[in-house]
Chains A and B, each alone.
Chain A
């Protein structure tokens, strides 16, 4: 996008949509455990995620485009997570916050899913147990980069998020 003079802005539709998307995610916090407490810390006044335009936390999957899975997902919870993910409209992104969501963490156990990527695709893995708020923010900002990268790839004929093969 280029700003021309004082009141002109020329762009194409695609970069414009990308720009809007990457600067105003509406996150759906799928918080189940300790990581959810750090997620709350991240959106609270001290760390204040709204600085990046990500404060519109939505608990309805139909109104959100970024799922943040914060906490351990058990086998009992798995079908719920899958259903909520399926209900989110495209394009959508997933951040897996913390060791548990990424890999089951130190619960190599009979009731714990060994990473949410067993059932849903993950865009960004944020390590830590729990990740610090800075870590989570860094992870979310990586999605921004990812949108840019995908756009470049799509110019070269690749697929963009939410696009289905023709």
Chain B
């Protein structure tokens, strides 16, 4: 039990003190995580504890950010299910860990407390084989139905594949709700995707319709599960950066930043001002690009093709900038742990300024075409609306949540890089529907451009682009060729990788879709022991079949783009 004084100060600790001795134990002392309070919880009290933490007005942990598993084969209680909680009103974070043994890997599901736990728990079940009791639909989510074993267990061979045969393809059995007496239609089940243009390549949506109206549906994902988390365990810390590009590939740069910041935190490395400045600017440009794709694709799904070309032109121009910075357009890998890949090109500021001239007219054009467009309004206003409270319960973050009236933005709530030094607003709308999700993104594009403008006006900071620490960043080529010591450092870094001290941390960044979190565990070897990505669109998409109940198939198509579900990030 926590000491008396702590209980008096911390309402969460007071709640914990109400549970039986030894069932909620804070992790303290050497080796304990320092990034946020962490409690080890016995599974018997988990659900009650969660409910108390959520409902107590002094704590209000209303947002379940993430659930993930970690495997420690040498421990008696081998699996650990890790919950990251966030209190929206208080801005506090809390981590719960529930250890279970292999022979008895059962944990009560927290879906009754937070609906957003649904897919998170399914993922832990799929990857580790931990069973969540009373879960409404506990089956594999990312891997296919012919898969055997649990891939993120430490004893699973990363390259062991299983072939899926046609007879094993999953077909949801939708349970029809009791029929409406006034319906004249026959019920029909329609399968859309995974290879369907409206499903953006890789999602599968099976809906039962009564006439036009969807009465029950199920979403099947995992068609792009590329095993990113397992791959990171087999690569050095630096080598993971390209994998992060391919999470949300519409705004790769933000993923790079999010990952590098997490590792930098574990290492305790201070990033030079020039790199921080450039990271902020390029992150905002990436956000603009991402919002362009989200809005462009949601509009094109409703037939408004012209805007798509406008938006893609914006992207092309920003690609030009990224290409000048790192040589790649889409998958940039432009960050390094401790700074950037290379120094900025000499015309960096000029290029950015040109973009600031070029982008706004295109955005204006789209707004002129769309904002008052009858067809778009008819197809988006009031469609798939969700209240702020529900959205939080479903673990939403990002622009979709801000369209439902909740002003949570990591850049404001927990500022990092240079966000607290510039003047900008968090746009919030209250409709919670497809239209507001479109509009919030348009407003955010303008805020991003304003942030960039202010930073450019400030001028580029002088100095190095990466930390001057040979244990973290590669020495320059010249130094390698001329100094024995630098050559040895270079060799060590390439062969063994960065040596990150043992520990664990969770760090959040505002991704284009919401809170992008990296939870990393290091055991002191040259590779991540466990790396988990809190993908913002994962819980958002888990709501989809609930959102679409009562709407028509064509509404589902119009909604999907606005949720901005990116398969690479969703399924990792």
9-residue interface stretch from A11-19, A75-83, A146-154, A157-165: A75-83
A41–B316 touching, CB < 8 Å: yes
Q: Which of B146, B151, B197, B567 contacts A32 (CB 8 A)?
A: B567
Q: How far is the CA of A101 from the CA of B313 in the complex (A)?
A: 27
Task: Please report which residues of chain A, range 103-147, place their CB below 8 angstroms from some CB of chain B when the two chains form the complex.
Answer: 106-112, 129-130, 132
Residues of A within 8 A of B319 (CB): 41
B224 close to A109 (CB less than 8 A):
no
Given A80-B195, A110-B159, A111-B151, A34:B312 Cβ within 8 A: no
Add 10 more A-B contacts to A33-B226, A111-B143 (CB < 8 A): A44-B308, A74-B144, A76-B143, A78-B164, A79-B169, A107-B228, A109-B230, A110-B227, A110-B230, A130-B330
A interface residues with partner B (beta carbon < 8 Å): 30-34, 36-38, 40-41, 44-46, 59, 71-72, 74-81, 83-84, 106-112, 129-130, 132
Which residues of chain B have C-beta atoms less than 8 A from A109's C-beta? 158-159, 226-227, 230-231
Taking CB atoms, residues of chain A closer than 8 Å to B567 are 32-33
Within B225-277, the residues touching A (CB, 8 Å) are: 225-228, 230-231, 242-243, 245-246, 249-250
Question: From residue B171, how far is it (CB to closest CB) to chain A in Å?
Answer: 13
User: B568 and A74: CB pair below 8 A?
Assistant: no
**B156 touching A110 by the CB < 8 A rule?**
yes
Assess the B568–A44 pair: CB atoms within 8 A. no
The CA-CA distance from A16 to B90 in the complex, in Å, is 73
> Could you tell me the distance in whole angstroms from the C-beta of A154 to the nearest C-beta in chain B?
32
Known A32-B224, A75-B162, A109-B230; contact A38-B330, beta-carbon cutoff 8 A: yes
**Which residues on the B side are within 8 Å of A37 (C-beta)?**
249-250, 293, 330
> CB < 8 Å: which of A59, A81, A84, A107 contacts B231?
A107
Q: Pick from A30, A74, A111, A132: contact of B329, CB below 8 A.
A: A132
Q: Which residues of A contact B286 (CB under 8 A)?
A: none
Residue of B nearest to A108 (CB): B159
**Contacts A32-B567, A36-B201 given; does A45 touch B161 at CB 8 Å:** no
Minimum distance in angstroms from B8 CB to a CB of chain A: 50
B window 432-459: CB within 8 A of A = none
Shortest distance in angstroms between A43's beta carbon and chain B's nearest beta carbon?
9
B312 / chain A contacts, CB cutoff of 8 Å:
40-41, 44-46
| Cα-based distance from A106 to B235 in the complex (angstroms) | 11
Closest CB in chain B relative to A144 CB, distance in Å? 25
Q: Using A46-B312, A78-B164 as known contacts, say yes or no to A106 and B194 having CB atoms under 8 A apart.
A: no
CA distance A112 to B143 in the complex (A): 10
* Contact status of A72 and B226, CB under 8 A, knowing A37-B250, A84-B195, A111-B143: yes
| Measured CA separation A81–B162 after assembly (Å) | 17
Q: Residue B532 at the A interface, CB < 8 A?
A: no
Interface of A is mostly: loop
Q: Looking across the interface, which residue of chain A has its beta carbon closest to that of B169?
A: A79
Which of chain A's residues have a CB closer than 8 A to the CB of B147? 75, 111
- Give me 25 A-to-B residue pairs in the complex whose CB atoms sit less than 8 angstroms apart, sorted by A's number: A32-B201, A33-B249, A34-B330, A34-B568, A37-B250, A40-B312, A41-B312, A41-B315, A46-B312, A75-B163, A76-B143, A76-B144, A77-B224, A79-B165, A80-B195, A83-B166, A107-B228, A109-B230, A110-B143, A110-B157, A110-B160, A111-B143, A111-B147, A111-B151, A129-B331
Q: How far in angstroms is the closest Cβ of chain B from A24?
A: 21
List, in ascending order, chain A residues with CB within 8 A of B160's CB. Answer: 110
Residues of B within 8 A of A59 (CB): 196-197
Taking a contact as CB atoms under 8 Å apart, the answer to whether B223 and A30 are in contact is no
A46–B313 touching, CB < 8 Å: yes
Residues of B within 8 A of A (CB): 142-144, 146-147, 151, 156-166, 169, 194-197, 201-202, 222-228, 230-231, 242-243, 245-246, 249-250, 293, 308-309, 312-313, 315-316, 319, 329-331, 567-568
Q: Which residues of B contact A76 (CB under 8 A)?
A: 143-144, 164, 222-223, 225
Residues of B close to A75: CB separation below 8 A: 144, 146-147, 161-164
Q: Check A44 against B156 for contact (C-beta < 8 Å).
A: no
Q: Closest B-chain residue to A133, C-beta based? A: B329
Contacts of A30 in B (CB 8 A): 195
A127 to B142, CA, bound (A): 27
Min Cβ gap A133→B in Å is: 9
**With contacts A32-B201, A37-B249, A37-B250 known, is A112 near B226, CB below 8 A?**
yes
- Bound together, the chains give a CA A75 to CA B161 distance in angstroms of 8
Q: Which residues of chain A come closer than 8 Å to B159, judged between CB atoms?
A: 108-110
CB of A107 within 8 A of CB of B195, answer no
> Are A33 and B230 within 8 A (Cβ)?
no
> CA separation between A36 and B315, bound complex, in Å?
14
Are B223 and A110 neighbours in the complex by a CB distance under 8 Å?
A: no
Partner of A107, one of B144, B222, B226: B226
Residues from chain A with Cβ under 8 Å of B224 in the complex: 32-33, 71-72, 74, 77
Contacting residues, chain A, for B162 (C-beta < 8 A): 75, 110
| B336–chain A nearest beta-carbon distance, Å | 18
Q: Report yes or no: A77 in contact with B161, Cβ–Cβ below 8 A.
A: no
User: What is the chain B residue whose CB lies nearest that of A81?
Assistant: B195
A79 touches B309 (CB 8 A): no
Chain A residue, CB-CB nearest to B297: A40
A33 and B201: CB pair below 8 A? yes
* Complex contacts, B250 vs chain A, CB 8 Å: 37
Knowing A40-B312, A76-B143, the reply to whether A32 touches B158 (Cβ < 8 A) is: no
**Alpha-carbon gap, A37 to B245, bound state (A):** 13
A32 to B201, CA, bound (A): 5
Contacts of A33 in B (CB 8 A): 201-202, 224, 226, 246, 249, 567-568
